[in-house]
Amino acid sequence: MTYQPPVGARDLLPLDVAQKHWIETRLQEVFHRWGYQWIVTSTVERVETLLAGGAVERRTIISIPDGEEGSLGLRPELTASIARAAVTRMAAVTHPQRLYYIANVFRDPGRSGPSRQREFFQAGMELLGCGGAIADAEAVLLLADCLDAVGLEDWHLLMGEAGLTRSLLEPFPQPMRDRVRTALVNLDRVGLEALELPPTLRARAIALFDLRGEPAAVLERVAALDLTEAQRQRVTDLKNLVDLLGTAAGRSLPLVLDLSLVQTFDYYTGIVFEAISGGATVHQRLGQGGRYDRLLGVYDPEGKSYPGIGFGLNLEPLHQVLLKGDRLPQQTPATDWLVVPRSPQALGAAFAHAQTLRQTPDRLVRVELDLKAQDPPEAIRDRAKQRRIAAIAWVDADGQVTSETV
């Protein structure tokens, strides 16, 4: 029998881990510079928590039956778990709360998924207790800073407004509304035009399809629609955010306004956004996020809610895109010293010398004890060269040490 990981899972080998760590370290530095604190929530939650009040589809959750706790599941994303922790464990903390995470999530891909991947790695943030354009801008600019920190240059940001998009779809009767929404999400203009709609609704559907592109042009087109006062206010807020991002970024953000943008999880109430890699052929979704102003009320005993916004970066696609450049480490970290006992009687002294080297102050020193010290010296030197070890320390039984550079 050949043992392999289960379908949808994979192993990360040492070089994969080194490259993933390189990415995570740079993202973590950005989160710290922006004043965010690291939070670690449970991998296993009650399914009721993960459903986020019905905003997350149950079929995406990998369940774990448990007789005492009821139905448990592996988290399919982090926002619901962090919202639960913030409401139940951090209620006395002064707002705003700035939290970030680096963690794995699990989703049931179903049997029709193209890759059937079950485990995903993410790094992201949640800004809780603050609404409005200033918090929205912080989330978007923080995402841009993260991508800059890992050296990504060819990317763009799709941004929509979940509440506005839902309201613009309200004139369509069910189930036609879902079909229109699906065609918009999939950029399927042919399918949209083939729907059996009255002339006025057909014209509206085509108009919604065209609400994608350069922000000023999209805002002008949506403002020309027959809008309610509430919708006009959302358009004004969106324009104010676009203007703020233009002045606060210190550079031109690669921003595309897309009012057909719909996120996987249905708890978003305001802006939604996705970071997409460039490239001539395949585009990768590097991250996604948005505003959720009702989610925290799901977990509050009194139903009290307060605003929140966050995003998650998808580390596997980000890793794949960065592999095309020269920023990621191409080798695992090399060992600094190989300590070789010259005889069995020198083992104690060799262990002691290795520990002394490891305790070098102010820097990390990697030290290995040679486990094949009975080999000829030249074989040991060849092995050290092959393993990119910088130096060898030969240790005698009396503790005398002879060092050489490899």
267 within domain boundaries = yes
Residues 307 and 360 in one domain: no
Domain count of the chain? 2
Residues 275 and 392 in one domain: no
pLDDT at 1 over 70: no
327 within domain boundaries = no
Tell me which of 322, 352, 384 is where a domain ends: 322
Tell me which of 299, 322, 345 is where a domain ends: 322
Number of neighbours of residue 361 by Cβ within 10 angstroms: 5
Q: pLDDT digits over 266-284, tens only?
A: 889 999 999 999 865 568 9
8 within domain boundaries = no
> What one-letter code names the amino acid at 353?
H
Q: Which residue has the tokens 């210190």?
A: 250
Q: Which of 283, 262, 93 is nearest to 186 (CA)?
A: 262
C-beta separation of 44 from 69 below 8 A: no
Residues 287 and 229 in one domain: yes
Residues 309 and 381 in one domain: no
Q: Tell me, what CATH number does 70's domain have? A: 3.30.930.10
Q: pLDDT digits over 99-116, tens only?
A: 999 999 999 887 655 568
Q: Is 54 left (phi over 0), alpha (psi -120 to 50) or beta?
A: left
Residues 308 and 350 in one domain: no
pLDDT at 140: 97
Residues 121 and 200 in one domain: yes
pLDDT at 61 over 90: yes
Q: Is 388 helix (H, G, I), strand (E, B) or coil?
A: coil
Q: What is the CA radius of gyration of the chain?
A: 27
Q: Is 160 helix (H, G, I), strand (E, B) or coil?
A: strand
Residues 128 and 256 in one domain: yes
pLDDT at 128 over 80: yes
How many helices and strands, by DSSP H and E, does the chain display?
Answer: 13, 16
Domain extent at residue 291: 14-322
pLDDT at 66 over 70: yes
pLDDT at 69 over 80: no
Tell me which of 290, 322, 354 is where a domain ends: 322
Residues 382 and 295 in one domain: no
- The average pLDDT across 205-224 equals 91
Residues 255 and 343 in one domain: no
Residues 232 and 343 in one domain: no
pLDDT at 68 over 70: no
pTM for the model: 0.90
6 pLDDT tier (thresholds 50, 70, 90): confident
**All residues at 6 or more sequence positions from 323 whose CB lies less than 8 Å from its CB, including other chains:** 19
pLDDT at 184: 82
Q: Tell me, what CATH number does 381's domain have? A: 3.40.50.800
